[in-house]
Structure 1
Amino acid sequence: MKVSVVYAQPEEQVWLPVNVEQHATLMSAIEASGILAMFPSIRLDQQKVGVFGKICALDTELQDGDRVEIYRPITWVAPDDDDDDD
């Protein structure tokens, strides 16, 4: 069956079509895509993954046409508060 694996960094985005066996999991699709070699900074033990925007476990079984997404950690930096009122 056909699925895709996607990952986006600020400077680069990839969408990789992958053929996997029936009953494949998110993890098997990620491994088959080769994306971990392309982006060695991906840490599946720390980053969330999902299908079509819904967070799922790595052992979730895929359906034909699914889009496996690897999410980057969300980081927020507070703006520098230069107010001298305190």
Structure 2
Amino acid sequence: MAEIRVQVCHPLPQAPQLRDLTLNEGSTVRDAVVASGLLPQFDPDHCPVGIFGKKKAPETVLRDGDRVEIYRPLVADPKDARRRRAVKKERAA
């Protein structure tokens, strides 16, 4: 069976984790995350994942050269953060 090379990235704040893997052709995002060992208790229902910055389902079939990304929960809602910055900027002006 043919093989593909992929990278799995888990961007932790203190130290991003990267793993280069060689998997069988037809492997999925879930297969890559499990094989990486970055999340021993990988739960695809509570851990969003993507490929090159685009959210994907864990069942998505990988292609050679893909970078699988394991996303962390957002600390703050981006819209709220923008509003707070705008208010802060108005007060400073």
TM, length-normalised to structure 1: 0.78
- Ranges of 4+ aligned residues in structure 1 off by more than 3 Å: none
Choose between structure 1 and 2 for higher RCO, CA contacts under 8 A separated by at least 6 residues.
1
In the alignment, structure 1 segments of 5+ residues that lack a partner are 80-86
Among 32, 36, 45, the alignment partner of 1:33 is 36
| Greater percentage in helix | 2
Q: In the alignment, which residue of structure 1 is the partner of 2:24? A: 21
Matched residues, number: 76
Q: Work out the CA distance in 1 between the residues paired with 2:43 and 2:13.
A: 17
Q: Secondary structure at the match of 1:62?
A: coil
Q: CA deviation at 1:44?
A: 3.2
Q: RMSD in angstroms over aligned alpha carbons?
A: 1.9
- Taking the aligned partners of 2:10 and 2:37, their CA distance within structure 1 comes to 12
Number of the residue aligned with 2:12: 9
